Amino acid sequence: MKSKFGLLIFVLAALALVAYGATVILSKTEPTSPEAESETIISAGTYSYTEATTENAVSEVVSLAENVVSGGYKYAYAGFNPSYADLTGTQWNLILVNRNYILPDNYEVKLAPSVESVSDSAKLDYRVAPHYNEMYLAALEDGITLTPLSGYRSIERQTNNFENKIEYYMNEGYDKIEATKLAATHILPPGTSEHNAGLAMDICSLYQNFDETEEFAWLNENAADYGFILRYPKDKEDKTDIIYEPWHWRYVGVETAKKIKASGLCYEEYLGLA
C-alpha cells in the first residue's frame, strides 16, 4: 500500500517535472512539497531512519580522565563532588545528569545526526535522533524551523566552554571559586551535562530572546508529543541550579514528557530530588 502510494507520488512528480521541463533533482529526504507528501514521508522516514541509525551510529567515548586530579573531581574546589549517574537502575532515556550526577568515565555514546536530511546537523544519541527528526519535520509542516544548534558535546568541548566561562567571571573580578560556581549556572562542568550524553538539544533562532519566538511557542505546545521537555524552566532556577534556558530541550520519552509537562515540575522535582 505504502509503496504503491509512494510510486504514485513518484510518477506524478516525474510527470510534473517533465511537463514543466524542470531540472530539479528529486530527493527522497527533502521533498519539494512537504505539505502534500508529509504524512507518508514522516512515517516512512522515521522508520527507515531508526533502522539505519542503529547500524550507522558513530560511537564516542566520554573520557573524564583529564578532569580527575589526584583522585578527585577537578572542580571539587568549588564544591562540585558529583556521584555517578545511575545507568543500571533506570531506563536510558530517564538518566539524570546534573551537577550532582556525572556520567561514568568511559561512558559510550552512539551518535546520529539530529536531522536526517542534513548529515552534518548537530548529533544526538542515536535513540534520540529519530525523535528529534520527527519533531523537526512536524514543526516544518507548521512553518517552524527548529534549527539544531548544539546537541552532543564532547568532554573536551564542554571543558573548554566551562573554563572560558570561569575565565570570564574571573575577569569580572570574582575569585576562582565564585567564578566557577557562577560559570556552572550557565554551563555545567564536564561530564555533568546532558549534552555530553547526547540527550539534549539547544535549539536556535534568529532572535535573541528565544522564549518570545514562534519556535519556542511551538515547542511548548508540541515537544512533549515527541518526548522532549523544557529542562531548565523559568522560576525553577533554585531547583535546577541552572539559569532559565528556553532553548534547551531534553529527551525523556513521550510518556514521561507528558507527565512532566502536566505536572508543571522541573525534572529534579519530578524525580523527588528537589
The residues annotated with a catalytic role in the active site are 245
∠ CA 168-206-125, nearest 5°, is: 75
Residue 137 CB, shortest distance to Zn ion, in Å, is: 22
Give the burial string for 91-129 (b: 16+ CB within 10 Å, else e).
eebbbebbbebbbeeebebbbbbbbbbeeebbbbbbbbb
Question: Which three three-digit cell numbers place residue 128?
Answer: 534520540
Residue among 99, 248, 251, 256 that touches Zn ion (CB under 5 A): 248
- Residue 135, CB half-sphere, CA atoms under 13 Å: how many? 29
Residue 141 CB, shortest distance to Zn ion, in Å, is: 25
Residue 65 CB, shortest distance to Zn ion, in Å, is: 24
> How far, CA to CA in Å, does 191 sit from each of 15, 38, 149, 234?
54, 38, 20, 24
Q: Which of 200, 201, 196, 199 is nearest to 61 (CA)?
A: 196
Q: Which is nearer to Zn ion, 80 or 210 (CB)?
A: 210
- The site that binds Zn ion (CB under 5 A) totals a number of residues, namely 2
Residue closest to Zn ion, measured at CB: 248
Q: Which is nearer to Zn ion, 131 or 248 (CB)?
A: 248
Residue 258 CB, shortest distance to Zn ion, in Å, is: 22
Q: Which is nearer to Zn ion, 73 or 247 (CB)?
A: 247
Residue 153 binds to Zn ion (criterion: CB under 5 A): no
Residue 250 binds to Zn ion (criterion: CB under 5 A): no
Distance CA 180, CA 80 (A): 10
CB 112 within 8 A of CB 58: yes
Q: Which is nearer to Zn ion, 150 or 222 (CB)?
A: 150
Q: Which stretch binds Zn ion (CB under 5 A): 108-116, 131-139, 222-230, 243-251?
A: 243-251
Q: Which stretch binds Zn ion (CB under 5 A): 30-38, 126-134, 179-187, 195-203?
A: 195-203
Q: Which stretch binds Zn ion (CB under 5 A): 89-97, 98-106, 138-146, 199-207?
A: 199-207
Residue 202 binds to Zn ion (criterion: CB under 5 A): yes
**153 CB-contact burial (10 Å; exposed 0-12 / middle 13-18 / buried 19+):** buried
Residue 8 CB, shortest distance to Zn ion, in Å, is: 43
> How far, CA to CA in Å, does 204 sit from each of 13, 41, 121, 198, 266?
33, 25, 12, 17, 22
Q: Which is nearer to Zn ion, 41 or 146 (CB)?
A: 146
The contact set with Zn ion (CB under 5 A) reads 202, 248
